[in-house]
Amino acid sequence: MSINDDKMKESLMFNQGGQSESYPFARDTMQNGTAEAVVYNSKKLEDAVHQMGVKIKHHEENIKFLKAQKNGLDNSILDMQVALGNYEAASKSGSENEELSHLQSEEETIEHMLKHGKSAAGIWYQLKSQYGTQASHLPLMKDVLGIVAMLGKVDDDNLSRLLSDYLGLETMLAIVCKTYDGVKALETYDKEGHINKTSGLHGLGASIGRPLDGRFLVICLEKLRPYAGEIIADDPQRRLNILKPRLPNGESPPGFLGFAVNMVNIDSVNLYCATSAGYGLRETLFYNLFSRLHVYKTREDMLQALPCIRDGAISLDGGKINHIGVFSGKSEIDVKFPKSSGRSNLPQNYFEIKREMKEMKWKKERTVEDMQREQALLDHARFNFDIKKQEYLKFLAQSSSYATQLQAGGERLTR
């Protein structure tokens, strides 16, 4: 090769500004290799461009999926907001009639309770009526929260009868005390172990002309094992967050309406800190009375759900299964839970919908964050793709140009 050939090669190494070329890959390949080397390196660059294109498509598909997910969440949230708005509007519009119905229902419960005038519950309520607010200051009464039948309310009359029947008359008339000292004050004994009829509820009953007849049931809250799980977030009734039942195939049993313990409404004063340990009536009294009792629409639904019923079940048409698997029909007792007032007469799934809507809003926030991350990755991938594509095109152009110049130089030498 002549000196002129060396100068031609040197001139190709610099652009017009006197700087080394930004991509000498093509020059080195042509200098040091063959046509096969050019093809090989061209294929490497082509593959790199293709891989970056695949990455771009992957991020675009992720963004498309996340957008569809966000749109679905938006629609679900909107539907829930509409449903909650309708529930609240219906509850407000019927509040006056519901309040009247509630008062009538409460008076009816008291009336039936007083028919058992010689029971501990009847004597306690007569004393409360006679002394009013001062009754709670009496040494015997200060630790008593009330009677089971009056400590909870239920939205539906039929469900109230069913729950009351499930518990039985003795339990519905049970006196509820906070501490064991309160329990001991209700009934005292002499040295021989006989009941002292001049003190406790026996003495009070005799003083008002209604001597206590027979045994009575007392429930001590501090001796009950409280519910150890979580409470449904933002639920003003502090319902228990119990896992929904599942059949062996993993599906929810048809006709399942909820857990009885969550279908009882409790006055706000007893929702919090009914015990010194800070537990309310739902976690203590009603959880021990109902445990995880299922409520179903029909007997047929209840029987189909037998594989997942552990603590008993009832159906709105009168079916009943107790915790040891004994089936029984419908029977009514005269003392039942009063009907809830209009202010709390919301559907059972109202707070479940609120909880689900809160979860969906959280998922939407996470989805938006994922979209933003994917968009940043997509922008970066597109940027790298453009650079690599330019390198590939420049390589092809330089390879072609360099090969042409070498061929032209070779032809001059042969002349």
Give the residue among 312, 340, 336 at the shortest CA–CA distance from 324: 312
DSSP summary character for residue 187: S
65 sits in which H/E element: helix 35-93
The one-letter code for the residue type at 163 is L
pTM of the model: 0.57
- Average pLDDT of every residue of the chain: 77
C-alpha to C-alpha distance for 316 and 160, rounded to whole angstroms: 10
Q: Which residues pair with 258 in a beta bridge?
A: 295
Q: Give domain limits for the chain.
A: 48-97+351-370, 117-223, 225-334
As given in the structure block, the two tokens for residue 373 are: 């991350």
| pLDDT for position 339 | 80
Q: Which CATH architecture does the domain made up of 117-223 adopt?
A: Up-down Bundle (1.20)
202 in Cβ contact with 211 (< 8 Å): yes
| pLDDT tens-digit series, residues 358-411 | 888 888 888 999 999 999 999 998 898 888 888 878 877 777 765 666 565 555
How far is CA 190 from each of CA 119, 195, 255, 398, rounded to the nearest angstrom? 22, 6, 54, 114
- For residue 146, the surrounding DSSP H or E stretch is strand 144-147
Q: Under a CB-based contact definition with an 8 Å cutoff, are residues 273 and 229 in contact? A: no
The distance in angstroms from the start CA to the end CA of the chain is: 13
Q: Label the pairing between strands 327-328 and 218-220.
A: unpaired
Q: Which two tokens stand for residue 319?
A: 């079916």
220-241 CB burial, b ≥16 within 10 A, e <16: bbbebebbeeeebeebebbbbe
Is 90 exceeded by the pLDDT of residue 224? yes
* Range among 122-136, 187-201, 228-242 with highest mean pLDDT value: 228-242
The answer to whether residues 253 and 301 touch, using CB atoms and an 8 Å cutoff, is yes
Q: Give 222-272 as a DSSP string.
A: GGSPPP-SPBPTT-TT--B-PPPP--TTSPPPTTEEEEGGGSEE--HHHHS
Calculate mean pLDDT across residues 74-88. Answer: 77
Contact 402, 12 (CB under 8 A): yes
Q: What is the 3-state secondary structure (H, E, C) of 92-104?
A: HHCHHHHHHHHHH
Residue type, 264: V
pLDDT surpasses 50 at 23: no
Distance CA 288, CA 261 (A): 9
Alpha carbons 392 and 395: distance in angstroms, whole number: 5
Domain spanning 225-334: which CATH class is it, in words? alpha beta
Least confident window among 63-67, 147-151, 408-412 = 408-412
Q: How far is residue 392's CA from residue 387's CA, in Å, rounded to a whole number?
A: 9
Please report how the helices 350-414 and 3-12 are oriented relative to each other, as an axis angle in degrees rounded to 10. Answer: 160
Among 19-33, 319-333, 373-387, the minimum mean pLDDT is found in 19-33
E-assigned strands of 178-226? 218-220
Residue 326 is which amino acid? Answer: V
Half-sphere exposure of 301 (CA within 13 A, CB side): 19
Give the C-alpha separation, 104 to 113, whole Å.
14
Residue 176: pLDDT band with limits 50, 70, 90: very high
